[in-house]
């Protein structure tokens, strides 16, 4: 499965320009689903038939990035963040645009390091004049972090693990599920990083009986980290809450029961800040029961997000077991 993860995390796809990653995923899942469509927000909605109730899984395929706001006369680009982009992690990084143009992120001279803000930073694409730059990149163009996948054995590192590792989990579960107990809607959503936008309209049109978002979550297991009871290697996390959602208790209990019945290790998650597609799904129509399974991830929203491979494998097992177990909540 590492090859699949490498393929999906390395693909270009900042929020608002998910075409390449959508086409990649559609090509991979086509043999394993009964129907597939793309809606007006670019969500990829696949259906695998199996039962009377509709179970929707949502994994967001967009990633954080930058949008070009201005090209100066020396060919430097100014940019605005697309999603939760920190200046601390962007300096010295490389971004790539849809046409393959790569740039380096630099900063103006600062009095102190704490003065580093995104509006003091720029992208250098190797151009010397405005005209030269504009031949490659124009305002409104979206850049994503450029960084290769690294396999450390038990741990994997890449940009966009948030939430492509969750996309890979959903793909792998679709490939290997034997007897789905529901009509499974596997939705690869867009614009999550801009406020759960794709999931909102996808949940409305699918109108599921039950929605489960698949994403990454933060951990509390690095030196002097924030206090959080999630660690790498202790299994996928069953979410209790984040800033966007209080998971429906019946859904959480169902997910926990499925994990226990199948001897899949899991941990409970309380995330203080951050949202997931479940927040949008739950508040659709008259309210939809919603839960989240998270893959624990260190250094979220940096160019080097780290997950544990056993957590990923156990995440696939849990998603597959959920697909195969009737929800009676
Ligand atoms: Zn995410
Ligand atoms: Co994110």
Q: Tell me: the pLDDT tens digits for 194-253?
A: 999 999 999 999 999 999 999 999 999 999 999 999 999 999 999 999 999 999 999 999
Question: What is the biggest distance separating any 2 CA atoms in the chain, rounded to whole angstroms?
Answer: 64
**150-151 and 155-158 strand pairing:** antiparallel
Strand-pair partners of 96: 102, 144
Task: Tell how far the Cα of 135 is from the centroid of ligand 1, in angstroms.
Answer: 33
How do residues 245-291 score in pLDDT, each as one tens digit? 999 999 999 999 999 999 999 999 999 999 999 999 999 999 999 99
* Intervals of CATH 3.40.630.10 along the chain: 2-63+159-323
- In CATH terms, 2-63+159-323 corresponds, of 3.30.470.20, 3.40.50.300, 3.40.630.10, 1.10.150.120, to 3.40.630.10
192 is an active site residue:
yes
| Cβ(157)–Cβ(305) below 8 Å | yes
How remote is the CA of residue 274 from the centroid of ligand 2, in Å?
A: 8
pLDDT surpassing 90 at residue 313: yes
Q: Of these residues, 18, 63, 172, 192, which one is catalytic? A: 192
Which residues neighbour ligand 1 (ion) by CB within 5 Å? 162-163, 215
Class of domain 65-145: mainly beta
User: Which of 197, 199, 234, 237 lies closest to 216 in space, CA to CA?
Assistant: 237
Q: Residue 328 pLDDT > 90, yes or no?
A: no
pLDDT of residue 130: 98
Report d(CA 211, CA 90) in Å as an integer.
34
Provide the token pair at 220. 């509390």
Full-model pTM: 0.97
- CA-based nearest residue to 56, from 66, 67, 44: 44
Quick one: tokens of 209?
A: 């009986």
pLDDT in tens, 105-146: 999 999 998 999 999 999 999 999 999 999 999 999 999 999
Q: What is the pLDDT of residue 52?
A: 87
Q: How many angstroms separate the alpha carbon of residue 328 from the centre of ligand 2? A: 31
Answer yes or no: are the C-beta atoms of 212 and 259 closer than 8 Å.
Answer: no
Burial pattern 22-52, b for ≥16 Cβ within 10 A else e, equals bebbbebbeebbeeeebbebbbbbbbbebbe
- Whether 315 contacts 161, CB under 8 Å: no
174-179 long-range contacts, CB within 8 A, separation 24+: 174/29, 174/32, 174/33, 174/46, 174/48, 175/29, 175/32, 176/316, 176/320, 177/48, 177/320, 177/323, 177/324, 178/324, 179/50, 179/324
Shortest-distance ligand to the CA of residue 163: 1
Rounded to the nearest whole angstrom, what is the distance from the C-alpha of residue 193 to the centroid of ligand 1? 7
Instruction: Output phi, psi for 227, to 5 deg.
Output: -80, 115
pLDDT of residue 329: 79
Per DSSP, the three-state class of 123 is strand
188: pLDDT strictly greater than 90: yes
pLDDT value at residue 156: 98
Q: How many residues does the chain have?
A: 329
All CATH 2.40.30.40 domain ranges of the chain, comma separated, are: 65-145
């Amino acid at each position: 499965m590492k090859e699949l993860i490498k393929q999906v995390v390395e693909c270009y796809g900042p929020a608002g320009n998910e075409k390449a990653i959508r086409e990649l995923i559609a090509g991979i899942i086509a043999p394993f689903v009964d129907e597939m469509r793309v809606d007006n927000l670019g969500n990829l909605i696949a259906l695998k038939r199996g039962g009377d109730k509709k179970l929707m899984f949502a994994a967001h395929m967009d990633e954080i990035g930058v949008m070009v706001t201005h090209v100066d006369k020396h060919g430097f680009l100014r940019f605005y963040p697309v999603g939760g982009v920190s200046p601390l992690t962007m300096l010295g990084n490389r971004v790539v645009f849809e046409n393959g143009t790569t740039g380096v992120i630099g900063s103006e001279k600062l009095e102190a390091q704490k003065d580093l803000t995104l509006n003091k930073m720029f992208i250098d694409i190797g151009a010397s004049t405005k005209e030269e730059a504009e031949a490659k990149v124009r305002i409104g163009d979206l850049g994503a972090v450029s960084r290769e996948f690294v396999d450390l054995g038990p741990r994997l590192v890449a940009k966009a693990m948030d939430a492509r590792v969750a996309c890979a989990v959903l793909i792998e579960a679709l490939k290997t599920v034997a007897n789905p107990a529901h009509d499974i809607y596997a939705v690869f959503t867009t614009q999550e990083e801009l406020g759960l936008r794709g999931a909102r309209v996808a949940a409305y049109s699918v109108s599921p009986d039950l929605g489960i978002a698949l994403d990454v979550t933060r951990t509390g297991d690095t030196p002097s980290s924030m206090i959080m009871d999630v660690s790498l290697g202790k299994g996928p996390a069953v979410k209790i809450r984040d800033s966007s959602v209080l998971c429906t208790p019946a859904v959480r209990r169902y997910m926990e029961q499925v994990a226990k019945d199948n001897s899949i290790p899991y941990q409970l998650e309380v995330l203080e800040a951050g949202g997931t597609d479940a927040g949008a799904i739950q508040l659709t129509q008259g309210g939809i029961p919603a839960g989240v399974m998270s893959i624990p991830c260190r250094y979220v929203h940096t160019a080097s997000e780290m997950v544990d491979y056993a957590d990923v494998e156990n995440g696939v097992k849990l998603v597959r077991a959920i697909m195969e177990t009737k929800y009676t909540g």
